[in-house]
Structure 1
Amino acid sequence: MRRGEVHNKGEINLMDIIDEIKKNPDLSKAGAIACFIGIVRGETQDGVPVDKLELEAYEEKANETLTNICEEIRKREGIIDVQIHHNVGEFKVGEELVYVVVAGGHRKELFSALIDAVEGYKKEAQIWKVA
């Protein structure tokens, strides 16, 4: 499993990612694991109802981008591991789209890294909604 990767819906779940992070030989330096789970919202920012969402990716570039984001954040003091796994396919409201998981020594750097990882994939990953 790569640190940053695109998956077809249903290929991965949060526990798979946490289990992978727990295999990190430096896990003994971690004081916590924080998770962000992005789900399909039932309405747009303008209040228009949403029934479903379909996502596609330029998989090779998206995997490279997600991995690079993880590697850069992982270089920070106190960060043990960073994983970003984004699903593609067709999703109903409430279904899980993305998992961002960070292991770190202390909550301050852990939460900062988690936010930066989420903002990074939102801005940079080659993943888009299908009309």
Structure 2
Amino acid sequence: MSGTVLHDPHGLIEAELPLDRDPYEALVTTVLAWKNPDLQPRDYEQIALQLTGHARAVATDIRRHAAALPEDDGRGALAEVVLREADSCLSAPLEGTASCAQNRARLVRALYTRLDRLTEPLPAAT
């Protein structure tokens, strides 16, 4: 079996790929709607792991968009605050609990909110 090794140290190829947002937003909605879930710890861990991986991808997208903003654009500073909070949350070890999965779901939601604010056009000055 042969293949091509791809060298993309700056993540340029990944930057061109859109995030597969819909399934993760559905997962976030489901996880945050839990009242008294009765899953096995390994199931919570798997859900939290999925959300963690996606949170990292969204954070990377936020960093890319924020870096492209002019220095005087306040959205970049707000993005940095959200990214610091995300880094803190993502550095916590995964646990096999509903609470852990829900915390990761909240993080994904917050990251998407920030990404949307970075990518929406600013109102025209009058």
Does TM, normalized by the shorter one, top 0.5? no
What TM-score, normalized to structure 2?
0.29
What TM-score, normalized to structure 1?
0.28
- Between structures 1 and 2, the one with greater strand share: 1
- Between structures 1 and 2, the one with greater helix share: 2
